[in-house]
Structure 1
Amino acid sequence: MKFQHWLGLAALLTSGLLLWNLREVLIHLFAAVVLSMALCTLVGVLRQRWNMARPLALILCLSCLLLIVAVAVSVIIPPFFSEFQQLIQQLPAAARELQQIVMGWINHASSLVSGTGLSNGSSTAISSGLTALPNSSALASGVSGGLKGLLGLAGNLGGGLVQLLFVIAVALMVAIQPEAYRNVAILMVPSFYRRRARVILSQCGEALSSWMVGVLISSLCVAVLAGIGLSLLGVKLVMANALLAGLLNVIPNVGPTLSTVFPMSVALLDAPWKAVAVLGLYVVIQNIESYVITPSVMQHQVNLLPGLTLTAQFIFTVLFGPLGLLMALPLAVVMQVLIREIVIHDVLDPWKKRRALA
């Protein structure tokens, strides 16, 4: 290779190394872009319905969001955290109850097979083996720590607060002048591709907007259905469990599974059949969400295969940590649009046509 080729390769490797070292900053920037897209979507809806100026629509959106946050902080969040603390405190008792149920089942199965129950030595060995499993208190603290990580509060509280303020500040700046920032991004590509880049960026924005609207409606429906179902079953701490079901519904695959642990733990302390009923309830809710709610509210969303979604969650969690898990789906939505438009339509399809003409 010539000297300029080696120079270009070195510049490419240096850029890749720099981006790798700045990956945490990049994922926070992407989170800010997603948040700004949410604000821009709300502003667009207001401007379309009432034909108001963009600054006025943005001020109205921010005022409504601040009002919602104030109401949530004063009315919803205190009882939610109180009930959530009770949930965490009840996990050890639920684990002990589950251990006793498992021991009873093992003893009953042994009596059916051999005609006698477990001997004292075998019972002691199994009991000690179950006791040797991870401590339930450690499990509870691990779960609560994982939820804090998902909320961007991993590490010390000060660092998490700074990151949150950074994301909010960048999101507000982008939401105030979205066209200016879009033009800056377009200027970063070669001049012959800028018109096409503008179209692709618009498609990415539309895909993100439809995903956010769909996820919001889907999470609200899941929270309402979970609250109604848990109330009918007589399970305690309905508000905390329903809100957790709605919040964790944002994270596909992992979130719904994790949200089932808490209500089952509370129900297990009342009666074992309630825990089974709660599991059946959440299975029904997830099937309704997957086959009824999501297809109805996400008709124009970029369709993601479940296997690709799970792979994206694993890859982005390894690369970016807990925030990568939370941003895995919007990242996958944007990457699917980029791959479809750039790699397939602009690279592979013309190459195929050239080969056919040759």
Structure 2
Amino acid sequence: MATDTPLVQEPSPNELRDPFVRQELKRASVWFGMAGAIALTVLLIQPLLIILAGIVFAALLDGGVRLLGKVLPIGRGWRLLIVVLLVVAFLLGTFYLTGVQVTEQVTQLRSTLEAQANRFTSFLSKQGLMPGASDLNGIAKQALGSVGRVTSWVGTAIGAITSLFMMLVLGLFLAIEPGVYERGLQWLVPTDARPEFARTIRRMGVTLRKLLAGRLVGMAFEGVFTGIALAIGGVPMAMLLGIIAGILAFIPNIGAIITGVLMVAVGFSAGTHTGIWALVTYLVVQTIDGYVVVPMVARRTVDLPPALTLGTQIMASALFGILGLALADPMTAMVKTALERSAEREGEQAGE
């Protein structure tokens, strides 16, 4: 017998009209979105690092343009052209004047390091600190091969040159019209958050320019002073060691350690007195740089705690390779700036 059963009025669980279903779906979407973003970042980490390197290069060019603007009151495009031409002229002039000598010294440096490594291994074996004599040629070649990779994504010399070219071109395009790309980033942010986002982006740009300016000063000091001091002491390959010291000064802490090992190894290959001179040169340069140059530069640029930079460099090198190691400091400086601005905003809101 049929009964008059009333119709169910509530929405079913599979209908989005249910407030509970909509709320849970939003939460699930957020978590799935975060997981997808993390997975996408892991897959695209090498291209992202290349883009970040282009941004760093663009900040370097922009700093030169702004500095030149204090002297030459001309258009930004002309100032950028002058900066690019000066950079190209410096690089071509350096390679033209020192190219042949540096090429010969690179081959000599590799042979010297292999000989010193074998000598050191034999000494440890005689002292009973190693199970037996071992030839480090294979290990050295393996290490040099791994260090020579710009990224794991680009494993060949042609790929490395292509990546470098992409960084330079990307940085040049960003430096030509930075406002266009900044407005594009603001467009991706909700309207009410755009003023604060723009303020944070500008502050991060200022921090990055100051950091790079300080790095260039340190690189110039260490490279020139090291090369001259080693040449006076008669250390072989003084010019190459000076260039390496200047380049590695871009990576504080770890770069200084690598420079010291190379200088001491090459110095002792020419004799005890030369090795002592190289060791003293390294200690003097690092002392002056650590207690005079770095504090002076840090007061006007970005003062990053040494333990923070070293920890970031270790993690970045382990996760992203040599390119991550080179970009560890810029990444740390930008994140630090964003966190400081966030803390300031919270303090302003609490004071209202």
Same fold (TM over 0.5): yes
Q: Residues 131, 100 of structure 1: CA spacing in aligned structure 2 closer, same or farther, 3 A cutoff?
A: closer
Encode CA deviations 1:177-221: one digit per residue, 9 max, x unaligned: 101111111222221221121121111111111111111111111
| 1:252 Cα deviation after fit | 1.5
Normalized against structure 1, the TM-score is what?
0.84
CA contact (8 A) 2:57 2:171 kept: yes
CA contact (8 A) 2:231 2:239 kept: no
1:299 corresponding residue in structure 2:
299
1:19 corresponding residue in structure 2:
41
Looking at both structures, which has the greater relative contact order when contacts are Cα pairs under 8 Å and sequence separation is at least 6?
Answer: 1
Aligned residue pair count: 330
1:312 corresponding residue in structure 2:
312
- 2:76 aligned with 1:46, yes or no? no
1:226 corresponding residue in structure 2:
226
CA distance in 1, matches of 2:201, 2:163: 26
CA contact (8 A) 1:32 1:168 kept: yes
| 1:128 Cα deviation after fit | 7.3
Task: From 104, 109, 114, give the equivalent of 1:92.
Answer: 114
1:321-336 alignment to 2 at 5 Å?
A: 321-336=321-336
Task: Specify the SS of the correspondent of 2:303.
Answer: coil
| 1:83 Cα deviation after fit | 0.6
Encode CA deviations 1:57-111: one digit per residue, 9 max, x unaligned: 111112222212221222223311211210111123323444566688x5xxxxx
1:256 corresponding residue in structure 2:
256
- 2:84 aligned with 1:62, yes or no? yes
Task: Specify the SS of the correspondent of 2:131.
Answer: helix
Task: Specify the SS of the correspondent of 1:49.
Answer: coil
1:1-358 alignment to 2 at 5 Å?
A: 2-98=24-120, 126=128, 129=131, 131-132=133-134, 135-149=135-149, 155-342=155-342, 344-347=343-346, 349=347
User: Over the residues paired in the alignment, what is the CA RMSD in angstroms?
Assistant: 2.5
Task: Specify the SS of the correspondent of 1:298.
Answer: helix
CA distance in 2, matches of 1:130, 1:216: 45
CA distance in 2, matches of 1:273, 1:48: 48
Task: Specify the SS of the correspondent of 2:315.
Answer: helix
| 1:16 Cα deviation after fit | 2.4
Q: Residues 141, 103 of structure 1: CA spacing in aligned structure 2 closer, same or farther, 3 A cutoff?
A: closer
Unaligned 5+ runs, structure 1: 107-125
Deviating 4+ runs (over 4 angstroms): 99-104, 150-154, 350-354
1:116 corresponding residue in structure 2:
none
Unaligned 5+ runs, structure 2: 1-22
CA contact (8 A) 2:260 2:279 kept: yes
| 1:152 Cα deviation after fit | 9.3
- Structure of greater Rg: 2
Alignment-mate amino acid for residue 39 of structure 2: L
